[in-house]
Structure 1
């Protein structure tokens, strides 16, 4: 990319990833954010950097590149993190068979290994031992604190690379080489629109023609666990085995999905699969559900949270299970199976949105940003 200046619209994880990729290459970067700080899906998630959730090939390479960038930022900005890996439990034979298939398919490709019951229990003190068949451990996964990261990274990018941030600056129009916020005008060689779920406000005609909807998910945070109790890894119940593309690529999950449909039809209908991740303060984030529509009710359903907690109890027991926070997040979702939405609606203007297709923005954004800024990304949608 030959440009020497750039505007980035949106200070969520996608906007920060684009801003960083530009800044480290010497571009003068200005970020425009409508709120006083990031308050959207980028701070309403587990904080999981989650390579196990993506398929082998380009997506996995992108996830590993993102992870490497996270590690650089962690070291330079002093962010908390836990390179704890992920643990996927089997309490039934069909779950164990999926884990066996996954391990066999990824032997030599990913740092995963099967654990027998005793080894799994040694990996995490939270696991329910009754009925546990075994588990799969994968070393790639890492936990960051999204609320801390999205608060600290803007200041770091400003201090380290001179990136300018303009908060409370809603962008009302974009054209080649400039963005408008009311009567204010910002100019640059390139403009990147990273507006997350508020995607129709800029270039609505582009989004109207795109296979996009919105996903609402409900999540909870549990109290800090006493006496230094740690999960040992990010924990995933069996329902996650039929949720992520990484498992679907490596194993025949259809029989397991059919069994879950019969046994947990209410959870499948609500898009529930249950994971747990612990932050540096000992709090445990759990979730989540998935509902798809262009417009969602602003209200959370306690019944959904109750189902998540009930399923969590099937594989994890915690010293302090008190819920201290509940919330929902909304993120863009592509309905055609694509992994991201990248478009050029005008010369010098690039839209970057809907990363990962399944809430994988923390996992993929930094790697995707590198590809786009380097000109290596080859699937840009051209506006008619």
Structure 2
């Protein structure tokens, strides 16, 4: 078959990968000259630890397998199965971690609660004060700024992949799309993976889209000067992932005002150049601010420095990003037929980088690729 894919982010690119793997031809369009959305404005985390039990966890675990396979075939994506440590600094936070390791799927997630000396054996850079750490051995990371170009280069080597950047799709008609250059791209099937772009053609095809947009702020530092061997989170991250029961934590330990106002958690990942990506905030109500505000960075810098036991390196990049999230919290994504041979796939939320390989694999099965 000839598959036309609209959207050059990680979800669209993974659909292209699945189609090429199955022997099909792919025409891939992206409205920017290069992917600039949430697929590159993120941590690159393959984050199994916080996923909801059931379908969401199953998708995350399958994606973790697929990311590792992709890392073997395309080393340039920078996949590392580094695991993660969520550091607990209060008894209430430790209680959440201890409840997590008693859950039925704790072994599947490779959960363990470690004492500080055990955590520092895994990650010697953590010289700050904390009471315990929740280890998740299934978590991993890729390099979001380079992963998509590296994957596309491998797809192009098949001889069955055509990449058209700087093309905004304006119309869908009978298994074909027309772009803003006036060119028509016809195929046997069309997949629209347009991320957080809900306007234009998407608004025409799905005006009742049950998906919202979420805005984040993140930053990157200069090189740390030593290896951060795992991904790192603070225990505020428990509050934003469905795997954890934080009922008691919310009652006895409310977040500081700035963290609560911005729905903040600390996530910290080391890039291959030694710098640290830190974040993040969450904003759910549009219109979003156009400012990149400093007070959240002050909070994240303070927390990260406390866990490292040293000042955070100087921040050299700051940015915001927007992703698409299903309104139904139990839905991993939103997939809907919007025309003859055409499907819209969107809404994985903050799971996009983690779950996109398995989401695309499921699409391939559903669409009989």
**TM-score, scaled to structure 1:** 0.90
Written as runs of structure 1 = structure 2, the 5 A alignment for 1:212-291 is 212-226=211-225, 229-247=226-244, 252-261=245-254, 263-291=255-283
Higher mean C-alpha displacement, 99-108 vs 136-145: 99-108
Instruction: Confirm or deny: 8 A CA contact 1:90 1:135 kept in the other structure.
Output: yes
For the residues of structure 2 that align with 1:134 and 1:27, how far apart are their CA atoms? Answer: 50
For the residues of structure 2 that align with 1:195 and 1:317, how far apart are their CA atoms? Answer: 41
Equivalent of 1:351, from 335, 344, 348? 344
For the residues of structure 1 that align with 2:69 and 2:213, how far apart are their CA atoms? Answer: 32
Instruction: Confirm or deny: 8 A CA contact 2:223 2:313 kept in the other structure.
Output: no
Written as runs of structure 1 = structure 2, the 5 A alignment for 1:99-138 is 99-105=97-103, 106-130=105-129, 132-138=130-136
Instruction: Confirm or deny: 8 A CA contact 1:103 1:112 kept in the other structure.
Output: yes
Instruction: Confirm or deny: 8 A CA contact 1:116 1:134 kept in the other structure.
Output: yes
For the residues of structure 2 that align with 1:162 and 1:295, how far apart are their CA atoms? Answer: 41
Structure-2 change in CA distance of 1:345 and 1:217 (3 Å): same
For the residues of structure 2 that align with 1:284 and 1:331, how far apart are their CA atoms? Answer: 21
For the residues of structure 2 that align with 1:163 and 1:235, how far apart are their CA atoms? Answer: 37
- Structure 1: gaps spanning 5 or more residues: 378-384
Instruction: Confirm or deny: 8 A CA contact 1:121 1:129 kept in the other structure.
Output: no
Higher mean C-alpha displacement, 368-377 vs 26-35: 368-377
Equivalent of 1:367, from 346, 358, 361? 358
Structure-2 change in CA distance of 1:160 and 1:376 (3 Å): closer
Residue 8 of structure 2 is aligned to residue 16 of structure 1: no
For 1:203, what is the secondary structure of its paired residue?
helix
- Structure 2: gaps spanning 5 or more residues: none
Higher mean C-alpha displacement, 54-63 vs 346-355: 54-63
Residue 68 of structure 2 is aligned to residue 71 of structure 1: yes
Instruction: Confirm or deny: 8 A CA contact 2:304 2:312 kept in the other structure.
Output: no
Instruction: Confirm or deny: 8 A CA contact 1:213 1:294 kept in the other structure.
Output: no
For 1:291, what is the secondary structure of its paired residue?
coil
Give the equivalent residue in structure 2 for 1:305: 297
Equivalent of 1:341, from 334, 341, 358? 334
Deviations 1:138-161 (A, max 9, x none): 111111111110221111111136
Cα drift, residue 308 of structure 1? 1.9
Cα drift, residue 351 of structure 1? 0.4
Structure-2 change in CA distance of 1:318 and 1:30 (3 Å): farther
Cα drift, residue 266 of structure 1? 2.8
Give the equivalent residue in structure 2 for 1:177: 175
For 1:369, what is the secondary structure of its paired residue?
helix
For 2:309, what is the secondary structure of its paired residue?
coil
Instruction: Confirm or deny: 8 A CA contact 1:214 1:295 kept in the other structure.
Output: no
For 1:266, what is the secondary structure of its paired residue?
helix
For 1:246, what is the secondary structure of its paired residue?
coil
Residue 31 of structure 2 is aligned to residue 34 of structure 1: yes
For the residues of structure 2 that align with 1:340 and 1:161, how far apart are their CA atoms? Answer: 31
Cα drift, residue 304 of structure 1? 2.0
Give the equivalent residue in structure 2 for 1:50: 47
RMSD of the TM alignment (CA)? 1.8
Deviations 1:302-352 (A, max 9, x none): 122212222323323356521010001111122231321111111211001
For the residues of structure 1 that align with 2:124 and 2:57, how far apart are their CA atoms? Answer: 30
For 1:30, what is the secondary structure of its paired residue?
strand
For the residues of structure 1 that align with 2:228 and 2:54, how far apart are their CA atoms? Answer: 30
Written as runs of structure 1 = structure 2, the 5 A alignment for 1:152-167 is 152-160=150-158, 162-167=160-165
Deviations 1:66-90 (A, max 9, x none): 1222122212122223211000111
For 1:41, what is the secondary structure of its paired residue?
coil
Instruction: Confirm or deny: 8 A CA contact 1:176 1:191 kept in the other structure.
Output: no
Written as runs of structure 1 = structure 2, the 5 A alignment for 1:318-337 is 318=310, 321-337=313-329
For the residues of structure 2 that align with 1:339 and 1:282, how far apart are their CA atoms? Answer: 32
